Structure 1
Amino acid sequence: MNLFGQTFSALENAMNYSTAKNRAISNNIANVDTPGYKAKDVVFKDVLRSEMSSIDTKRTNARHIDFKQHNGVSPFQTITKHNTTYNHNGNNVDIDKEMNELAQNQIQYQALTDRLSSKFRGIESVLKGGN
């Protein structure tokens, strides 16, 4: 039995993704001058695949997409970008891009925490009898 419903687990997954993305961006910014450092990113398609696998679907044809494919790995993955070099020292961190992504990620995380807080306030209100 899921006490809080799927909303809480979806918010938790989104916050975990945002936290992992923030960690990757922070590492990139911290290593902006490190020779040979390659930027890292968190892959969203794995989050989407994980969420799609939780959808209850029925295949009526073998050509339909099977949402239940589950490979047992983490819902998202941190990858290293090896295919570019922006600096003469082999480093590929673009500080302007990283700062932009950091700001976007912080806004997303704040929205998620606000939504989660709102859900808890609603539960608290119910427990207190609506006062």
Structure 2
Amino acid sequence: MNVLNSAAFARLENAAYASELRQRVIADNIANAETPQFKRQEVLFEQLLEQSIGNKPIGVSGYRTDARHIAIGSQKSNMPAPKVVTDDSTTMNINENNVDLDREMALLAKNQLNYNLYTKQISHEIKMMRTAIDGRV
């Protein structure tokens, strides 16, 4: 049995992955701030997650602890994957580049805080499982 197979833990894992991808995308944006005709990119995850949670099918679904159990309801995972999109609609400079360094640096700081939160929460979840298994505090 996979103890860390809950939907909440999967959301944390995907959020941490999205944050790591966002770090790479923002770093690429910053590196290309002076590149002519470069268009900034961003990572969509939170919006997609919110939409997928809002579009949950109404009904009953069961939790299977063993592959031999009979499935109850829909067992499809509606966990979205992070998506990288390019902003082609704006320009910041005469060279048609649309990277705003101040905005990118603020997004970088925000992303770092989010990543720290996700990793701390994942660590806490694992620690709680270890405590439950070991029976020690």
TM-score (norm 2): 0.75
Shift of 1:56: 5.0
Q: Look up the match of 2:69.
A: none
Number of paired residues?
Answer: 119
- AA aligned to 2:44 is V
Superposed CA RMSD: 2.5
Q: Does 1:40 align with 2:41?
A: yes
Q: Look up the match of 2:22.
A: 21
Q: Look up the match of 1:62.
A: none
Structure 1: gaps (5+ residues): 59-67
Which range moves more in the overlay, 109-118 or 2-11? Answer: 2-11
Q: Look up the match of 2:3.
A: 3
Q: Does 1:99 align with 2:101?
A: no
CA contact (8 A) 2:25 2:41 kept: yes
Shift of 1:11: 0.4
Q: For residues 82 and 35 of structure 1, do their structure 2 counterparts lie closer, same or farther at Cα, with a shift above 3 Å needed?
A: same
- AA aligned to 1:98 is E
Q: For residues 111 and 20 of structure 1, do their structure 2 counterparts lie closer, same or farther at Cα, with a shift above 3 Å needed?
A: same
CA offset digits 1:49-91 (Å, max 9, x no partner): 34445x4524xxxxxxxxx9x9x99523111111111112111
Q: For residues 13 and 105 of structure 1, do their structure 2 counterparts lie closer, same or farther at Cα, with a shift above 3 Å needed?
A: same
CA contact (8 A) 1:50 1:75 kept: no
**Distance in 2, Cα, partners of 1:75 & 1:97:** 24
**Distance in 1, Cα, partners of 2:42 & 2:109:** 15
**Distance in 1, Cα, partners of 2:82 & 2:128:** 30
TM-score (norm 1): 0.78
CA offset digits 1:3-33 (Å, max 9, x no partner): 3222210101111221221121111011111
